[in-house]
Amino acid sequence: DIQMTQSPSSLSASVGDRVTITCRASQNINRYLNWYQQKAQKAPDLLIHDASTLQTGVPSRFSGSGSGTDFTLTISSLQPEDFGTYYCQQSYSTLVTFGGGTKVEIK
């Protein structure tokens, strides 16, 4: 199976900060990398698909980049509603795998 490693596992940042989350795949996954946001007791929501394409309705402060094995999710100016846990997920393999998650807290 393809292993997905996210870092950091948690972070605390202030409103307005630029926040970066990284995701590394154990092998080349081209650009088949998706990002989700999950809030407590809720289902995940798709933020970005295919590494850098913003899902409809997602604010433009979110962006994704990368290809191959290294990927980044960036929030350009953190807002209070951006708290939650963020997950990456690869769909290169039919055996889908998720990263371990990054919990974002607002200072």
User: What minimum distance in Å lies between the beta carbon of 66 and other proteins?
Assistant: 15
**Interaction mask 6-45, other proteins, x per CB under 8 A:** --------------------------x-x-x-x---xxxx
Nearest to 71 by CA among 15, 10, 27, 25: 25
Of 19 and 33, CB closest to other proteins: 33
Pair type for strands 10-13 and 102-106: parallel
For residue 63, what are the β-bridge partners?
Answer: 74
When asked if residue 83 is in the footprint of other proteins (CB under 8 A), the reply is no
Give the CA distances from residue 62 to residues 8, 28, 94, in Å, rounded to whole numbers and listed in that order.
17, 24, 27
91 is an interface residue for other proteins by CB under 8 A:
yes
Pairing of strands 19-25, 33-38: unpaired
Q: Does 64 bind other proteins (CB under 8 A)?
A: no
Identify any residues that bridge with 10 across adjacent strands, giving them in sequence order: 103
By beta-carbon proximity to other proteins, the closer residue of 72 and 91 is 91
Interface residues with other proteins (CB under 8 A) are 1, 32, 34, 36, 38, 42-46, 49-50, 55, 87, 89, 91-92, 94-101
